[in-house]
Amino acid sequence: MDLLNALVALTNYVMIPAVAYGSQLALGALGVTMIYAVLRFSNFAHGDTMAFGTMVTILITWWLQSMGINLGPLPTALLALPFGILGCMALMLFTDRVVYRFYREQKAKPVIFVMVSLGVMFMMNGLVRFIIGPGDQRFSDGERFIVSARDFKAMTGLREGLAFKTSQGITIITAVVVVAALFWFLNRTRTGKSMRAYSDNEDLALLSGINPERVVMYTWMIVAGLATIAGVLYGLDKSFKPFTYFQLLLPIFAAAIVGGLGNPIGAIAGGFVIAFSEVSITYAWKKILRYLMPENLEPDGLVQLLSTDYKFAVSFVILLIVLLFKPTGLFKGKSV
Amino acid sequence: MSETVKHSLMFAFVGVLIILDGTTSFGIFAGSWNSALGILNMGLVSAIMALGVNLQWGFAGLFNVGIMGFTALGGLAVVLVSSSPTPGAWSQGGIGIIMALILGALTVVAAVFITKNMTKGKPRVLALTALLIAGFFAYRAVFDPAVSGVEAINPALYGSLGGLGLPVLLAWPAGGLLAAGAAWLIGKTALGLRSDYLAIATLGIAEIIIAIMKNEDWLSRGVKNVVGLPRPMRKEIVLQEDPGFLDTAASLGLDPVVASTLYVKITYSLLFTVVLLALLWMAQMGLKSPWGRMMRAIRDNEVAAEAMGKNVTRRHLQIFVLGSAICGVAGAMMTTLDGQLTPGTYNPLRFTFLIWVMVVVGGSGNNFGAVLGGIFIWFFWIKVEPMGAGLINFVTYGLADDSALKLHLLDSTAHMRLFTMGLILLLVLRFSPRGLIPEK
């Protein structure tokens, strides 16, 4: 019984949150990695791209709510999501047209691109704060739980409850669908193949008649989609705040680098590696150990390795270790 | 017009802006010497930071996105060096904290030793894991009680180790040393890889330094802030009671309160100018020397420089540490000027991004450009908010005073700064990438 309780507590406090957070990070890291693969720079504006797409979605969600439209048990934001993606795509294509294209034609060094993306990041950040304000926004509605802790306890008679939030369920399902669709697109469609060709060898791709501007355009559109979905899922699961989205940049970069920059499978794996380490290192294990240890050996402290204030330090340390020992990432990325 | 005259005129223009701020209250100008000197002082500090970043970017092409962290470490040095020691802190746990930190460092050293001296394989992995886990728990076992001991000492007033009580000017080089240490750690891991990695690693270390300063109360009281840090000169209140000073003020026709604030601010200006000139001289000498030529050669063509037998990664590490140390010195100077350390106020926009705008606008690769950009952009930064508010008032002239849109727009003027600074950076990078004073 104690073992079962420990298992339930582990699932409730570590596994489910980490899987949901990992899916969100994986989607974010996929965006970073796609930009890296095709445009060959680390996009510092990615966190704020997520924030922008989420903001558009939130505004449309509020409008739909005021019209009395909702999805019943599901959050209205899902209905608004396509519009958010469209808005974010428009912004991405506009930024590419007025900012990045010039440097592409110049064949500027990657570090110049990184710097330019920093400028774009601050403009987007300013724009988001200007429109929706710097504060916390909650926009989830519908059923809060698929399984609530109390129902679970009543059902099983265990001492530990297991809560499964709707937002977590939606996150996991959406992530699986989006990743499957992305891989299908990259591996099966003509455009996807031309993107991979361009990413592998630019000169050869140009020789075989692939239009680079088209590849770049599709990349930005896909990235806008991924960023908005990741941002909305994160916002539904936690809450939306422009500064938090800027801070997400660090775990997202860490995830992309751990997996190997430019490698989509690596980005997904990296997202989960970062999420699981972050959650398990900042979780207070006392609750679980209490079930597993004999009574006289119970721990006094919280058995928390690091306080949650340092959750970014976890992704950073993992990043440093990967850079020190395996700079190309777990799955072979493009860069050294 | 020769280049030198043109550049001197630019400096003169910035000087005139500051003088106008002191003399007239027309338009954006404040019309008070207090405000003008305040801008000048922070401008000088910003110029020093820009000098440090220019060393990294202009000389070596290294992209540092963690200036905020190095600045904050400088501020931390002021607290650790110059604030007075907390009574009883060392006996209550200070020694324990130091022991724990040494224990942690020893663990890392032992881990490095094992990695280097054991052959690859399962035994090495096992030994490393065992060592790190044991080391971590031993560290926590010593560290935690010591920390709660220190933090329990009158938390409303102290609750931290305090400092060494040394003169505050000593804290400036100490700030440089702290920042240099952090930079060495980052540079050692991220340099020699792709240029993007350094950017990401510095972004991370800056966030973590701020997180540590906010949460480790024993170190610098965390978000409870440290106020009343010592100053390199007499305080205003002391001056106002000094008969000699009062006589001088009266003979100049100044109110004692105004005279004392001006005295403090002018002393800071002089001190900062001395530091700035010294660093500027060193940077100029470095740029002209064979070392500077080598650095630029590496920046312009790493492969060729490597072929000539230069160790590119080592040189990069060297200049990265130097540039970060300068940022640390500037950070210590800034905290001294403020008289307090408030970890909650460090944000990347103000402490990283703004410095980048200064360097790029001033002219990367040119030290005088960095200094000009530092002071000019700081002036602009202070004045962009009144300008933004004025602009929005003008645009919304036709709207009623209580219209929701107008109120929202006026509320949001603070965020205009982010937008404007991003715009300036993009425009300069695009249309005038060499900046106001280009590299020769």
Cβ-proximal residues to A327 (8 Å cutoff; 6+ apart), any chain: A335, A336, B193, B197
Nearest to A247 among B207, B423, B426 (CB): B207
Nearest to B208 among A130, A313, A336 (CB): A313
Nearest to A119 among B194, B207, B426 (CB): B426
Indicate if B79 and B91 belong to the same structural domain: no
Asked if A309 lies within 8 A of B421 by C-beta distance, the reply is no
Indicate if B81 and B15 belong to the same structural domain: yes
Per domain, the residue ranges of chain A are 2-247
Residues 204-243 of B with CB under 8 A from A: 204-205, 207-208, 211-212, 214-215
Q: What is the mean pLDDT of residues B369-385?
A: 88
**CA gap B184, B322 in Å, rounded:** 9
**CA gap B197, B320 in Å, rounded:** 14
B108-129 residues labelled b (16+ CB within 10 A) or e (exposed):
eeebeebeeeeeeeeeeeeebe
More confident residue, B160 or B355: B355
Nearest to A310 among B194, B211, B422 (CB): B211
Say if CB B100 and CB B161 are below 8 A apart: no
Q: If we measure between CA atoms, which residue out of B83, B82, B53 comes closest to residue B158?
A: B83
Burial of B277 (0-12, 13-18, 19+ CB in 10 A): exposed
Domain end residue (candidates: B129, B161, B193): B161
Is residue B436 assigned to a domain? no
Domain end residue (candidates: B111, B139, B161): B161
Give the confidence band of B1 by pLDDT, cuts at 50, 70, 90: low
Is residue B20 assigned to a domain? yes
Q: Does the pLDDT of residue B420 top 90, yes or no?
A: no
A274 in reach of chain B (CB within 8 A):
no
Architecture label for domain A2-247? Orthogonal Bundle (1.10)
Chain B residue with the nearest C-alpha to that of A258:
B197
Indicate if B301 and B365 belong to the same structural domain: yes
Q: Name residue, tokens 């305040």.
A: B38
**CA gap A12, A6 in Å, rounded:** 10
Contacts of B419 in chain A (CB under 8 A): 122-123, 126-127, 130
Chain A residue with the nearest C-alpha to that of B62:
A111
Q: Looking at CA atoms only, how far is residue A148 from chain B in angstroms? A: 34
What tens digit of pLDDT does each residue of B36-89 get?
999 999 999 999 999 999 999 988 888 898 999 999 999 999 998 988 887 777
Q: Name residue, tokens 């992995």.
A: B125
Q: Quickly count: other Cβ atoms within 10 Å of residue B244's Cβ.
A: 8
Indicate if B293 and B235 belong to the same structural domain: yes
Domain end residue (candidates: B161, B179, B200): B161
Say if CB A148 and CB A69 are below 8 A apart: no
More confident residue, B385 or A81: A81
Tokens of B19: 């003088």
| pLDDT score recorded for residue A335 | 53
Q: Name residue, tokens 């036709």.
A: B398
CATH of the domain at B365: 1.10.3470
Tokens of B179: 């920042």
Interface test with B, best of A130, A248, A314 (most B CBs within 10 A): A130
Q: Looking at CA atoms only, how far is residue A310 from chain B in angstroms? A: 7
Nearest to A41 among B196, B215, B353 (CB): B196
Asked if B193 lies within 8 A of A247 by C-beta distance, the reply is no
Q: Which amino acid is at B58?
A: G
Q: What number is the ipTM of this complex?
A: 0.86
Is residue B285 assigned to a domain? yes
Indicate if B53 and B97 belong to the same structural domain: no
| pLDDT score recorded for residue A58 | 94
Q: Looking at CA atoms only, how far is residue B357 from chain A in angstroms? A: 9
Q: Running DSSP on this structure, what letter comes out for residue A71?
A: B
Q: Does the pLDDT of residue B107 top 50, yes or no?
A: yes
**CA gap A35, A261 in Å, rounded:** 10
Best mean pLDDT range from B1-10, B277-286, B404-413: B277-286
Q: Name residue, tokens 């796609």.
A: A34
User: Which 3 state secondary structure label does DSSP give B396?
Assistant: coil
Say if CB B62 and CB B198 are below 8 A apart: yes
Say if CB A34 and CB A223 are below 8 A apart: yes
| pLDDT score recorded for residue B348 | 82
- Structural element, H or E, at residue A159: none
What tens digit of pLDDT does each residue of B291-329 get?
988 988 888 888 898 898 888 889 999 999 999 999 999
Q: If we measure between CA atoms, which residue out of B352, B347, B372 comes closest to residue B361?
A: B372
Asked if A336 lies within 8 A of B193 by C-beta distance, the reply is yes
More confident residue, A259 or B155: A259
What is the number of CB-based contacts under 8 A between chain A and chain B?
Answer: 129
Contacts of B343 in chain A (CB under 8 A): none
Beta bridge partners of A74: A71
Say if CB B384 and CB B417 are below 8 A apart: yes
Tokens of B229: 């840090």
Mean pLDDT score of chain B? 86
Indicate if B128 and B61 belong to the same structural domain: no
Indicate if B65 and B104 belong to the same structural domain: no
Interface test with B, best of A100, A118, A249, A257 (most B CBs within 10 A): A118
A109 in reach of chain B (CB within 8 A):
yes
Asked if A119 lies within 8 A of B415 by C-beta distance, the reply is no
Q: What is the mean pLDDT of residues B349-355?
A: 87
A73 in reach of chain B (CB within 8 A):
no
Return averaged pLDDT per consecutive 10 residues of chain A, 336 residues in all: 84 91 94 91 92 95 89 87 95 94 89 90 90 87 83 83 89 94 92 89 87 91 95 92 90 91 89 93 83 73 78 85 82 64
A316 in reach of chain B (CB within 8 A):
yes
Asked if A44 lies within 8 A of B65 by C-beta distance, the reply is yes
Q: Looking at CA atoms only, how far is residue B425 from chain A in angstroms? A: 6
| pLDDT score recorded for residue B159 | 73
A301 in reach of chain B (CB within 8 A):
yes
Chain B residue with the nearest C-alpha to that of A247:
B207
| pLDDT score recorded for residue A334 | 66
Indicate if B203 and B286 belong to the same structural domain: yes
- Total domains in the fold of chain B: 2
Q: Looking at CA atoms only, how far is residue B18 from chain A in angstroms? A: 28
DSSP symbols for B244-292: HHHHHHHHTT--HHHHHHHHHHHHHHHHHHHHHHHHHHHHHHHHHSHHH
| pLDDT score recorded for residue B236 | 78
Backbone φ and ψ of B55, nearest 5°: -60, -45
Indicate if B146 and B204 belong to the same structural domain: no
DSSP symbols for B321-388: HHHHHHHHHHHHHHHHHHTSB-GGG--HIIIIIHHHHHHHHH-TT-HHHHHHHHHHHHHHHHHHHHHH
Indicate if B319 and B421 belong to the same structural domain: yes
Asked if B199 lies within 8 A of A42 by C-beta distance, the reply is yes
Best mean pLDDT range from A203-212, B39-48, B111-120, B405-414: B39-48
B201 in reach of chain A (CB within 8 A):
yes
Q: What is the mean pLDDT of residues B173-195?
A: 88
Indicate if B176 and B304 belong to the same structural domain: yes
Q: Which domain holds residue B130?
A: 86-161
A320 in reach of chain B (CB within 8 A):
yes
Indicate if B344 and B269 belong to the same structural domain: yes
